[in-house]
Amino acid sequence: MTAATATTADTFRPALHYATRNTWLNDPNGLIFHEGLYHLYYQNNPLDNVWGNMSWGHATSPDLVTWTEHPVAIACDDDEDIFSGSIVFDRDNTSGFGTDSAPPLVAVYTSAFKPGSRHAGLQAQSLAYSRDGGYTWTKHSANPVLSRGSAEFRDPKVIRYDGGAGSYWVMVAVEATDFQVVLYKSDDLRAWEPLSTFGPANATGGVWECPDLFPLPVDGDPGNLKWVLTVNLNPGGPNNGSAGQYFVGDFDGTTFTSATTVTEGHQDPARLGEYQWLDWGRDYYAAVSFSDAPDNRRLMIAWMNNWEYANQIPTSPWRSPMTLAREVSLRTVDGRPRLIQQATGDFEAISGAGQSFTLAATELSDCTRVLDGAAGSVQRIEATFTPGNAQEFGLIVRGNGAHGTRIGIRPVPGTLHVDRRTSGRTDFHPSFPSIDTAPIRTINGSYKLTIYVDRCSVEIFAQDGQVTMTELIFPAPTSTDVAVYALGGTATVSSLDITRYA
């Protein structure tokens, strides 16, 4: 096999998001800020643009927006595929893979052992180390370092715990088909001892994958730290297929205790809407956070695709973008801690950034209005709507006549939706053309949407990041109109600002 080559114009290649040159990617792996750069490793097929030959690809960015692709970091071999995992900077050289004066980066990844291997049928955790700041990697000679004799034990995220119980490495990983997060501790990254397990809880409609565990201050108060446990699941998301959920609670160095569990054990399908989702859209999966991000920020990136149709999306020669980086924080909403998410990165680093369009307050009455001068395919749209008596109102992006991606709000029953049935190419998979919904309520009588449109995607941050929806779209390059609309009555666009990039 050779890497795919371009056959059609690459009109879906994003400007603000990372995509490989000409290969397949899925989960972000080993996210770390190190020596002034954000390192993004990822599940990669170096030889093709469909899933297979799983290895860790690698890209770096100074600004989370402009990325440089590097050679494959950790490659599969005859014995193992390199599944998802994480990287830590072992600053005290606890692993001994570096020296005290030149401490190493250590990758903890899942070895998915192949049929010919002496570990055939197992998934177990392995190490690789880099002594050159993350560009070249050596597999540890005594891999795997942690096996449970399981075929579904994967996706280790390692963090440094410094708290009341001491100072050591903590690994969260999953027993995927048991809906369990398993926690281990280590002093040297090589020898691991079990701490506890978490789950099943809340959504268990698919396998659990790619967990993460991190502390955040509530409402910015450093004296009130809570721990967030994120768990991706596939399928079983709120709008079908792949999605991520989170729990908020405490971690005492041994056990994570959730304060936001709605159902213990297996899920109650009727309560899916009550679980806490990282994103309500179809294309936000395997989300994981950076280690060592500057200023204690908690930054996450997800794979922008859905296993339902991932291998069929019509991009070429590459397949699958990452999402934008998001800064997450915890805010008390209705008495409960909620994750608030904002896109982050230096968008001005994109050439052509900064042209703008503004619409003065406008009342809409049962109409669709294409906005002259607002057209674009790479843009940030900030819109505030005040409801009147319309049943539905919102925006159409990447539009052309009656076609486009509809981002609508229905005050009753209180939903935000993305309707991508006429968003462009939808014929590559029967489950792609969909209307997907998330719950939304007014804040001070209005609805505020921040929408990033980037050639093949929309990422929506509603109500200052309380609700997010991320969806792929595949419009014709000529579909660039932006319209506002109200159906069956009135609604006011109180403000609308567009920044165009590229």
- As a whole number of angstroms, the distance between CA 395 and CA 384 comes to 11
- Which chain residues interact with ligand FRU by CB under 6 A? 26-27, 43, 54, 83-84, 110, 154-155, 209-210, 286
DSSP string computed for 360-417 = --EEEEEEEEE-TT---SEEEEEEEEEE-S-SEEEEEEEEETTEEEEEEEETTTTEEE
Q: Which is nearer to ligand FRU, 67 or 153 (CB)?
A: 153
SS3 271: helix
Q: Which is nearer to ligand FRU, 175 or 481 (CB)?
A: 175
Q: How far, CA to CA in Å, does 7 sit from each of 3, 52, 246, 316?
A: 13, 21, 40, 7
Query: Quick one: 209 or 481, whose CB is closer to ligand FRU?
Result: 209
* In contact, 87 and 105? CB cutoff 8 Å: yes
Q: Give me the least distance between CB of 171 and ligand FRU, in Å please.
A: 14
**Three state DSSP letters for 148-212:** CCCCCEEEEEEEEEEECCEEEEEEEEEEHHHCEEEEEEECCCCCCEEEEEECCECCCCCEEEEEE
Nearer to ligand FRU, 110 or 344 (CB): 110
Q: Report the candidate in 360, 406, 415 with the shortest Cα–Cα distance to residue 387.
A: 415
Spatial contact of 451 and 416, defined as CB atoms under 8 Å apart = no
Catalytic residue among 10, 27, 162, 221: 27
Q: Is 27 assigned a catalytic role? A: yes
Least CB distance to ligand FRU at residue 110 (A): 5
**Identity of the residue, 457 or 499, whose beta carbon is nearer to ligand FRU in the bound complex:** 457
Rounded to a whole number of angstroms, the minimum distance from the CB of residue 176 to ligand FRU is 6
Shortest Cβ distance from residue 153 to ligand FRU (Å)? 10
Place of tokens 């800064």: 327
Distance of closest approach, residue 294 Cβ to ligand FRU, in angstroms:
28
Answer yes or no: are the C-beta atoms of 490 and 389 closer than 8 Å: yes
Q: Least Å distance between CB 388 and ligand FRU?
A: 43
CB 406 within 8 A of CB 396: yes
Residue 31 structure tokens: 């996210």
CB of 154 to ligand FRU, least distance (A): 5
Cα 139 from Cα 157, distance rounded (Å): 18
- 50 or 370: CB nearest ligand FRU: 50
**Closest separation in Å from C-beta 27 to ligand FRU:** 5
Cα torsion 186, 189, 192, 194 to 10°: value is: 50
For ligand FRU, the closer CB: 26 or 323: 26
Neighbours of 373 (CB within 10 A): 11
Q: Please check whether residue 106 is in contact with residue 125, taking contact to mean a CB–CB distance below 8 angstroms.
A: no
Measured from the CB atom, the residue of 125 and 450 that comes closer to ligand FRU is 125
Q: Could you give the CA distance from residue 130 to residue 137 in angstroms, rounded to a whole number?
A: 5
Nearest to 474 by CA among 5, 7, 9, 11: 11
3-state helix, strand, coil in the chain (%, to 5): 5, 50, 45
Residue numbers annotated as active site = 27
